[in-house]
Amino acid sequence: MANPTAILLISCPDQKGLVAKIANFIYSNGGNIIHADQHTDFAAGLFLTRLEWQLEGFNLPRDLIAPAFNAIAQPLKAKWELHFSDSVPRIAIWVSKQDHCLYDLIWRYRAGEFAAEIPLIISNHPNLKFVAEQFGIDYHHIPVTKDNKIEQEAKQLEVLREYNIDLVVLAKYMQVLSADFVNKFPQVINIHHSFLPAFVGANPYHKAFERGVKIIGATAHYITSDLDAGPIIEQDVVRVSHRDEVEDLIRKGKDLERVVLARAVRSHLRSRILVYGNRTVVFD
């Protein structure tokens, strides 16, 4: 699919004619819908949809699509986002000392799995600078302590602005972001090394070992001000047994963390995630 497409993510109170109205908007302007997926949350009374159409042959110039659609969306009380498939979001990967998610994200980016740029790595440790150097990515070492957290977060925000970052991916960044930071930069995906809501907080693999579970998991979610409680994007699990010690759980967990985080980032980049309340619809 080399042709660029436009994508609408829409949520609004359910009512008759929504599909028709939106499809007509696209069709009457000459657009060819290639993907349409719709979900109704009956409990919430919400209509949620994702539409993707080819821009080739579409009569509206890009900059007029949003205002034109707004005229339709407003009477429907719809919340909506417009994306273009050929826009290239800029990602900052944040890490601490572990490199598995970092290498994995870089490899996928280079393999063409992510339609994005990765110009920036931020870390509270210097350890992974060599990885950044291997692949020619800038590395900012911004150490964070309890005492300097506020000023370092200001510095982090400044660097994000400087690099025009659209999305922060916490790839095993072992620090909690303040509510203030999340308010100022809300587009943050985190990987938590447990099957949330089990084992919230620190040392989930140790806790899982203590509890004697037979399966461990990993969870990718958007960051909110509430620790490990943001909207879940993706989860996966792997079987463990009595033969696995904590270090085996950690090792097996790394494989989970890599794929779960990568799937979440890819869904986000392809504009397939619609957040409402504390839930996500992932249109696959």
| Contact set for a copy of itself, span 205-244 (CB under 8 A) | 211-215, 217, 231-237, 241-243
Name the active-site residue from 99, 147, 166, 228.
Answer: 228
Q: Which of residues 134-193 bind a copy of itself (CB under 8 A)?
A: 134
H-only helix segments in 212-284: 246-269
Pick the closer one to a copy of itself by CB: 156 or 263.
Answer: 263
- The answer to whether residue 111 forms part of the interface with a copy of itself (CB under 8 A) is yes
As a whole number of angstroms, the distance between CA 196 and CA 1 comes to 35
Q: Is 245 exposed, middle or buried (0-12, 13-18, 19+ CB in 10 A)?
A: exposed
Q: Which of residues 247-266 bind a copy of itself (CB under 8 A)?
A: 251, 254-255, 259
Do the Cβ atoms of 84 and 77 come closer than 8 Å? Answer: no
Q: Is 248 exposed, middle or buried (0-12, 13-18, 19+ CB in 10 A)?
A: middle
As a whole number of angstroms, the distance between CA 188 and CA 198 comes to 21
Other beta carbons less than 10 A from residue 241's beta carbon: 7
Question: In angstroms, what is the minimal distance from the CB of 60 to a copy of itself?
Answer: 14
Pick the closer one to a copy of itself by CB: 3 or 148.
Answer: 3
Question: In angstroms, what is the minimal distance from the CB of 218 to a copy of itself?
Answer: 11
Q: Which of residues 19-38 bind a copy of itself (CB under 8 A)?
A: 19-21, 23-24, 26-28, 30-38
Pick the closer one to a copy of itself by CB: 43 or 147.
Answer: 43
Pick the closer one to a copy of itself by CB: 86 or 226.
Answer: 226
As a whole number of angstroms, the distance between CA 282 and CA 267 comes to 7
Pick the binder of a copy of itself from 13, 45, 57, 143 (CB under 8 A). Answer: 57
Pick the binder of a copy of itself from 63, 67, 74, 284 (CB under 8 A). Answer: 284
Catalytic status, residue 228: yes
* Per-residue x/- track, 2-21, a copy of itself (CB under 8 A): ------------xxxxxxxx
As a whole number of angstroms, the distance between CA 15 and CA 161 comes to 40
Q: Which of residues 67-106 bind a copy of itself (CB under 8 A)?
A: 99-100, 103
As a whole number of angstroms, the distance between CA 215 and CA 239 comes to 4
**What is the bridge-based pairing of β-strands 117-123 and 90-95?**
parallel
Which residues participate in catalysis according to the annotation? 228
